[in-house]
């Protein structure tokens, strides 16, 4: 039995006619190749599968895997990230990263914020709207920040998401509702420092890999770590590992949120400070981007002295341990891959 690799390839969807932004969450061929190379180096026999439909066909055909390294984002629906894990659970096959409950919950940023808030973890006040008419009922003070409820990779995020008037709020909501055809999250704008926190491990054994500050340079688009800022990060964004008092508070919020949301194996949590310098939970990335060069978690690991292979090693080891295998070698043997 090999180790399955599930993913959604960006170029496959571009070929079907979807545009650059619509496919921003999907993966590049070099990401699949890099994960495959690490699996091979660690004694596993990787098998490229693809997305949920390819996986379904192969499972129905009788194929099985020792475990699956899953980074499939899925194309549609509120459970798009949960589809591959749910299917694997139906066949009793272990897989990396979070379970269907966590993946479906956290894709909806408002639902995730409600659970986080219920655990006493700070997160900005917010509202969800499905149509512009509902804006009249919103009592949050300006400035506000508007974003699609269930996207990632900076989709829909630009300087226009920061609004200081009812007119600007209405305009951006109209544009985003039309473009993304999904509800919008409206939050108090957090003007403070921004951090992304890398986490690896499970439950009480989860550890913070590092806290990386996202520092927008003068060349960057204003207000946020937007789609275009991320795309041109070399010129627009400074990434620094930080360990001051505010950064440590960001780390403890991220760790608490990760445990509250039952994140597994590895991921990233975005945090930004309010006007008083108090870090607030923004969102969780339970399927963190794993591009070998430009994904945030990979950049952070690199700054911490952890190379790509070791980062994936932490994730794989956490997964195998969670599934009841003690050491890596033992696991490789147990899942029949070496």
Q: Which residues bind ligand ADP (CB under 6 A)?
A: 124, 145, 147, 151-155, 157, 187, 189-190, 194, 224-225, 270, 272, 282-283
Of 203 and 277, the one with the shorter C-beta distance to ligand ADP is 277
To ligand ADP, the closest distance from the beta carbon of 245 in angstroms equals 21
Of 152 and 183, the one with the shorter C-beta distance to ligand ADP is 152
Of 67 and 180, the one with the shorter C-beta distance to ligand ADP is 180
Of 50 and 148, the one with the shorter C-beta distance to Mg ion is 148
Work out what residue 286 binds among Mg ion, ligand ADP, none; the CB cut-off runs from 5 to 8 Å by kind: none
Residues in Cβ contact with 152 at an 8 Å cutoff, skipping those fewer than 6 apart: 24, 25, 73, 285
CA–CA distances in Å: residue 296 to residues 16, 52, 139, 190, 280:
28, 25, 34, 20, 19
Helix%, strand%, coil% for the chain, nearest 5: 40, 20, 35
Of 146 and 301, the one with the shorter C-beta distance to ligand ADP is 146
The rounded distance, in Å, linking the Cα atoms of 36 and 30 is: 10
To ligand ADP, the closest distance from the beta carbon of 61 in angstroms equals 35
Q: Give residue for tokens 């911490």.
A: 304
To ligand ADP, the closest distance from the beta carbon of 173 in angstroms equals 15
- Distance from chain centroid for Cα 303: 19
Bridge partners of 126? 187
CB-count exposure of residue 92 (10 Å: 0-12, 13-18, 19+) = exposed
- Is the dihedral angle over the CA atoms 294, 300, 304, 308 positive or is it negative? negative
The rounded distance, in Å, linking the Cα atoms of 97 and 319 is: 7
Work out what residue 331 binds among ligand ADP, Mg ion, none; the CB cut-off runs from 5 to 8 Å by kind: none
Work out what residue 157 binds among Mg ion, ligand ADP, none; the CB cut-off runs from 5 to 8 Å by kind: ligand ADP
Strands 207-216 and 279-285, sheet pairing: unpaired
To ligand ADP, the closest distance from the beta carbon of 40 in angstroms equals 31
Of 281 and 314, the one with the shorter C-beta distance to ligand ADP is 281
The rounded distance, in Å, linking the Cα atoms of 75 and 334 is: 33
The rounded distance, in Å, linking the Cα atoms of 109 and 111 is: 6
CA atoms within 13 A on the CB side of 144: 24
To Mg ion, the closest distance from the beta carbon of 213 in angstroms equals 14
Using CB atoms, what's the residue nearest to Mg ion? 270
Name the site residues for Mg ion (rule: CB under 5 A): 270
Work out what residue 154 binds among ligand ADP, Mg ion, none; the CB cut-off runs from 5 to 8 Å by kind: ligand ADP
To ligand ADP, the closest distance from the beta carbon of 24 in angstroms equals 9
To ligand ADP, the closest distance from the beta carbon of 242 in angstroms equals 16
Of 73 and 270, the one with the shorter C-beta distance to Mg ion is 270
């Amino acid at each position: 039995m090999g180790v399955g690799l599930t993913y959604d390839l960006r170029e496959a969807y571009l070929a079907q006619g979807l545009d650059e932004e619509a496919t921003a969450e999907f993966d590049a061929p070099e990401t699949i190749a890099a994960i495959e190379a690490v699996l091979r180096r660690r004694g596993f026999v990787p098998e490229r599968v693809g997305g949920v439909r390819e996986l379904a066909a192969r499972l129905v055909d009788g194929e099985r895997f020792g475990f699956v390294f899953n980074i499939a984002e899925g194309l549609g629906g509120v459970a798009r990230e949960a589809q591959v894990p749910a299917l694997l659970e139906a066949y009793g096959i272990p897989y990396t990263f979070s379970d269907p409950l966590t993946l479906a919950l956290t894709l909806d940023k408002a639902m995730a914020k409600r659970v986080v808030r219920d655990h006493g973890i700070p997160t900005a006040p917010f509202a969800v709207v499905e149509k512009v008419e509902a804006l009249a009922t919103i009592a949050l003070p300006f400035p506000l920040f508007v974003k699609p409820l269930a996207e990632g990779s900076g989709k829909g995020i630009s300087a226009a998401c920061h609004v200081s008037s009812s007119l600007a709020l209405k305009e951006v909501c109209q544009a985003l509702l039309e473009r993304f055809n999904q509800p919008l999250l409206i939050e108090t704008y957090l003007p403070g420092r921004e951090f992304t926190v890398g986490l690896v491990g499970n439950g009480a054994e989860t550890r913070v890999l590092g806290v990386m500050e996202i520092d927008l340079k003068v060349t960057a688009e204003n207000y946020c770590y937007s789609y275009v800022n991320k795309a041109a990060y070399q010129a627009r964004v400074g990434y620094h590992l930080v360990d001051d008092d505010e950064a440590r508070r960001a780390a403890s919020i991220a760790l608490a949120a990760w445990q509250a949301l039952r994140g597994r194996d590895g991921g990233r949590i975005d945090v930004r400070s309010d006007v008083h310098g108090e870090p607030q939970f923004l969102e969780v990335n339970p399927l963190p981007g794993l591009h070998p060069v430009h994904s945030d978690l990979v950049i952070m690991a690199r700054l911490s002295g952890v190379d790509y292979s070791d980062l994936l090693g932490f994730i794989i080891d956490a997964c195998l341990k969670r599934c009841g295998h003690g050491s890596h070698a033992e696991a490789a043997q147990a899942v029949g891959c070496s």
